[in-house]
A and B are shown apart, each in its own frame.
Chain A
Amino acid sequence: MVNLREIKGRINSTKSTKQITKAMQMVSSSKLRRAEQNAKAYVPYMEKIQDVVGAIASGTKDSGHPMLTARPVKKTAYLVIGSDRGLAGAYNSSILRQVQRTINERHKSKDEYVVLAVGRVVRDYFVKRDHNVISSVVALPDQPSFADIKEIARNAVGMFIDGTYDELYMYYNHFVSAIASEVTEKKLLPLTDIAPASSNASYEFEPSGEAILEVLLPQYAESLVYGALLDGKASEHASRMTAMKNATDNASDLISDLSLQYNRARQAAITQEITEIVGGAAALE
């Protein structure tokens, strides 16, 4: 016979878990809305800077700027953007799996690559496995501002220029919709695949094309990192929302199963009691 009190206890604990996951789901969905707004506010800046960089880079061929020149690759860097906290479904694990697979395919020894980690989960993963983590950012706010990311972006660009590594890949979850995101790999440095400008304006450079690239390219690279971060944040909130929604649904299912069990057990106990009373009465006659 199933213990009634035990089932009751399980129902209650599942109920309180459900309340928590439900609350987390609602928090994530409002954060997702904000993150989407941020990503949208960022679009004009990104488009504009892409436009100008394209125009200048195609206008000044062979500028020899270090950020545009591909050099023999001795060391590769991976900038991995994840989250600080778990409970976001497959958000972190899918990106870590992808990065790990790529590293295993491309490199034979640990000296050939370094990792730049954004997010506590990512940092812990790579540190635990003894990868060479040279820079990390944790505890970013949910709505990061440009100033928050500037440090790591400048570091990443600086270390490329001073030759710490010869190419830089960026990994993040691209936000597709509230229920889907895809792991995206983007080659950040050297900037070889700059799209030529759509507008065919030939610019006058003040003081010179090279001097402008000097200012513009780091800003461009920083903005790419910031864009990826906003994208990643949006998909983090989306995947946390989905994970928590699933958890809430599962809790509801579990509660209804348990309630059924509980009622059956209660009914069985009542029936048994009646049978006992009837049996007892019959024995007296």
Chain B
Amino acid sequence: MKTVTVNIVTPDGPVYDSEVSMVIAKTTSGEIGVLAGHIPMVAPLAIGAVKLKKDNGSTEVVAVSGGFIEVRPEKISILAPSAEIADNIDIQRAKEAVKRAEGRIQSKQDNIDFKRADLALKRALNRINVHEGNI
């Protein structure tokens, strides 16, 4: 099967760079699967998992928190504010973040930015899901 180079880049440096045969990502308007030779495309990503199917049948999963995907026939780039490969996720930190965000959402104070807390919760849950492999 034809393969395509995938780059995942964050402001803190490159996270992933390899040849894969298929990329499955969650955009804001739904899930997309991209194969090699796709027409040039740009789409914003939702907080979610990016699945990278290798030629040998194995799949790698990367947790991304937003950003966008840029597709060219021979190259796919994903730019995200943060991204982690499943094995490198700090699960302890993510669990703490979930607790913190839930506490914030449930507290009845007025000065809480619910949207922000909600996003933080989503990012943390996404990390946990990706780490534990239930996606």
Contacts and interface: CB of A to CB of B under 8 A. Distances in A.
B41 A203 contact: yes
A149 to B, nearest CB: 9
B13 A41 contact: yes
A212 B11 contact: no
Given A52-B68, A52-B70, A146-B81, A223 B44 contact: no
Contacts, number: 83
B28 interface: yes
A212 B44 contact: yes
B79 A146 contact: no
A49 B79 contact: yes
Interface residues of B, number: 26
Given A52-B70, A146-B82, A216 B11 contact: no
Nearest to B41: A204
Contacts of B32: 206
Main secondary structure of the interface of B (DSSP, over half): strand
A211 to B, nearest CB: 7
Interface residues of A, number: 30
Contacts of B66: 215, 219
Contact of A216 (B12, B27, B29, B68): B68
Contact of B42 (A206, A214, A226): A206
A201 interface: yes
8 contacts: A38-B12, A48-B77, A52-B70, A55-B42, A146-B82, A206-B32, A207-B28, A215-B66
